[in-house]
Homo-oligomer: A and B are copies of this chain.
Amino acid sequence: MIGTAAKRVDTPEKATGRARFISDVIVPGMVHAKLWRSPVPHARIIAIDTSRARKAPGVIAVLTAKDLPVKDLYYGPAFKDQPLLADGVIRHAGEPVVAIVAETIALADAALPLVAVEWQELPVVDSLDAALAPGAPVLHERARPAVHFRDLTSLKPIAGTNICHQYSYARGDLDRGFAEADLVVEQTFTFPMVHHYSLEPHCAIARVDPTGITVWASTQHPFPVRKEVAEMFGLPLARVQVIVPYLGGAYGNKSYTKIEPLTIALASHVRRPVRLALTVEEGFKTVRRAAVRYRLKTGVRRDGTLVARDCEIYYQLGAYADVGPRVVQKSAYTAAGPYRIPNVRIQAYGVYTNTVVSVAFRGYGVPQLTWAYESQMDVIAERLGLDPLELRLKNVLARGEVFIEGDRPVDCDYAGGLRKAAAAIGWTEPTPPRRGRGLACTIKAPLAPSVSSAMVRLHADGSATLLTATVEIGQGARTTLSQIVAQELALPLDRVRIARPEIGMSPYDQATSASRSTTLMGLAVLRAARDVRDQLLAIGARQLGGDATAMTLHDGAIVAPAGRCRYAEALAAHFGTGGELIGRGTYRGERGHAPLGGEAPFWEVGMAAAEVEVDEDTGRVKLLRYVSIADVGKAINPRECEAQEEGAAMMGIGHTFFEQMVYEGGQLLNPSLIDYRVPVMGDLPDEYRSVLVENGDGPGPYGAKGIGESGLIPTAPAVANAIARAVGVRITDLPMTPERVWRAIQASSPRFA
């Protein structure tokens, strides 16, 4: 069962169209909400006239911020700085200002143009430079209260500026380090805003009744949503239910609270269930990845030994913080890369601008940083005349070496993985002209500490139900977690059912995020299943005679030296009539002595190799081969691991070549699939594969560790390094469009010098 490519448990539902997503949910009596969004990026609201809209056919209510029945209008997982509806000030184009609730979506839509908002425009801050300029308009005049997060170690919004958060780290003596260096390389890399583009946009349906709040939500974070909703509406946690159907993709865009509290407030006001479903375009105006400008300066000895690294990183977070401060510090924590560098300084800043809010995004800030440090590794290799692989092997941390004092030592074989990547791409083979190969690797810190619980019920007929709040977002978690139960209880997979997340019933899980589910929820599931197993063996010992420790489970039966007993028989004898066993399991991370948050339960690592061919006349880069190395510890389901890895790398191909949200004057110019290009199957190279490294060295079940994010992180630098080795130009800004590559070639070519 473990290590086999078990068929996904959700395939039959999904292949037949029977899988239920939130768009398949009808709550009796529900009505529909639409949001009037600001056309301007920065303004003070003078007046809002909703009188005409209120009289429109089918309109039930038209609400502004002041009408919402909430204890606190502001929400956010780091600071509570984001109002449910604009509260006097508009801070980005597309910000919701007025909500209309009507009998149908069409009637709500029809009433939107009847809303009249009078505003006074304010100067727009839509870039890092504008935000950081002396005397720049300040988006948030007063800091909002911070949420208690144990790992928000350095909450330092700088009053009177647009700096929302800072993080810093240092070790060694940076000046001495650079003084010892034979070569110092300093570059600035940029990574643009990109949109998650999950196929399913955000949707929530809320019902408020005397028992409390129920919200059906397309969320990866049902428990954090519950917590924030309970606080905003002043209810005990027990009185807030969050029900999560299948999700049509979630890459961080559906983490933490999004449209749920607004939908609840509307339902509370109109006393009917309310559904709020965003369009794709509204999704673009709701979430994005943080854009990053990373000035990276590295000192290195002639032999390639890294001696000093100075990292200055600005994250453009957007109009509100969301989880940006945590992205800043969690990713900056690994900004120097998985290398042995004695002298390091990291300074990171999260910056407010009048743009869409940046939120968690697969990779959690690390793709933006790896883009810089892995590109620069090749620049250093080139400048020193070293092989990029050799340079990395010389500096990369070995298993057991300390990454950051107090945190988990490196738990993987970087050198082995890099060699695998190089071998897989034919690193040492000659390349034809205009072709090149590139390598990259990364390290990502997981969410820590964290908690997950699970329950396993063994029914009277020996079939089992797994209760877990892990959300199926397409990643295959339901299959993997079911496999663990099937393995531990010696059952075929089709006799294990996994219940959907419904937090009134499912046990606690902190989050479906940070590549943690298989590993950490997996441990909770393993423990719950083993709890059932232990109960079964104790029953078997009474039924069959003998010692439970001498018994095993096999093919749905308790097997003892004295004989065997099917689970159904054992339970019938134990309970007399009906009855079932309930197992419970919890994973609880330790705080440890790590400087940031808790001790990493594992390090998420990845390596990739790319081969490209560059058309120097057009700048078009053809990706010929791509290999992703996933250090999975143990692949519980190898096919699903490969699918995760290759899906991630494909997402990496998107931001490497195409994706970029384009702003002009605070207006997003391309909030649709007509103008915003995501990768499609035709963008994949003919040779596109992943290699799973299984050293059994993870903390999860059977030695598993988390993957699913690492696949997209090294893509851009591996490709940029390949381009550099193909045609000698170094791209430092993403995406690497033909135009950008062509211009770089032109700029570097002596023909045009």
Contact = CB atoms under 8 A, between A and B. Distances in A.
Contacts of A28: 24-26
A507 B574 CA distance: 16
Interface string A244-277: 0000000000000000000000000000000000
A334 interface: no
Contact of A578 (B223, B239, B582): B223
The complex is assembled from copies of this chain, and their number is 2
B575 A579 contact: no
Interface in A610-637: none
Contacts of A236: 459, 461-463, 494-495, 497
A510 interface: yes
Contacts of A578: 223-224, 227, 450-451, 508, 510
A451 B506 contact: no
Interface in A536-587: 574-580, 582, 584, 586
Interface string A356-397: 000000000000000000000000000000000000000000
A209 B18 contact: yes
A428 interface: no
Given A211-B497, A230-B461, A460-B227, A453 B505 contact: no
A412 B683 CA distance: 81
Contacts of A589: 576
B238 A495 contact: yes
Nearest to A464: B238
A449 B24 contact: no
A579 B451 contact: yes
A653 interface: no
A586 B575 CA distance: 10
Contacts of A453: 579-580, 582
Contacts of A209: 13, 16, 18
Contact of A576 (B449, B463, B507, B576): B449
Contacts of A27: 26
B210 A13 contact: yes
Contacts of A457: 507-508
Interface in A176-213: 209-212
A577 B449 contact: yes
B580 A508 contact: yes
A580 B212 contact: no
Nearest to A458: B238
A676 B237 CA distance: 48
A226 to B, nearest CB: 9
A481 to B, nearest CB: 14
B238 A13 contact: no
Contact of A508 (B239, B455, B579, B584): B579
A514 to B, nearest CB: 13
Given A26-B26, A238-B496, A575 B451 contact: yes
A64 interface: no
A598 B576 contact: yes
Contacts of A24: 28
Contacts of A502: 505
A499 interface: yes
B576 A459 contact: no
B507 A238 contact: no
A237 to B, nearest CB: 4
Given A576-B589, A588-B576, A12 B459 contact: no
A521 interface: no
Nearest to A575: B451
Contacts of A55: none
A239 B497 contact: yes
A465 B226 CA distance: 14
A510 B230 CA distance: 34
Contacts of A142: none
A507 B13 CA distance: 26
A9 to B, nearest CB: 8
Given A25-B28, A210-B18, A237 B576 contact: no
A439 interface: no
A425 to B, nearest CB: 40
Nearest to A580: B508
Interface string A488-506: 0000001111010010111
Contact of A584 (B26, B227, B495, B582): B582
A476 to B, nearest CB: 16
A222 B265 CA distance: 35
A502 B500 CA distance: 12
Interface in A686-702: none
A301 interface: no
A399 interface: no
Interface in A5-26: 12-13, 16, 18, 24-26
B580 A507 contact: yes
A641 interface: no
Nearest to A452: B579
A449 B579 CA distance: 11
A150 interface: yes
Which of A237, A467, A580 gathers the greatest number of chain B CB atoms within 10 Å? A237
A346 B40 CA distance: 88
A591 interface: yes
B579 A586 contact: yes
Contacts of A507: 457, 580, 582
A273 to B, nearest CB: 11
A577 B465 contact: no
A38 to B, nearest CB: 34
Contacts of A230: 461
Nearest to A27: B26
A237 B463 contact: yes
Given A505-B467, A575-B588, A238 B459 contact: yes
B510 A499 contact: no
A653 B742 CA distance: 94
Nearest to A590: B576
A18 B227 CA distance: 24
Interface string A428-462: 00000000000000000000011101010101111
A513 B464 CA distance: 26
B223 A582 contact: no
Contacts of A149: 577
Interface string A511-534: 000000000000000000000000
12 contacts: A13-B211, A18-B209, A236-B463, A237-B460, A238-B464, A449-B577, A451-B577, A453-B580, A455-B582, A465-B504, A510-B579, A584-B584
Given A451-B575, A460-B508, A576-B591, 4 more contacts: A26-B27, A239-B497, A453-B579, A505-B506
3 nearest interchain CB pairs? A12-B210, A236-B463, A505-B505
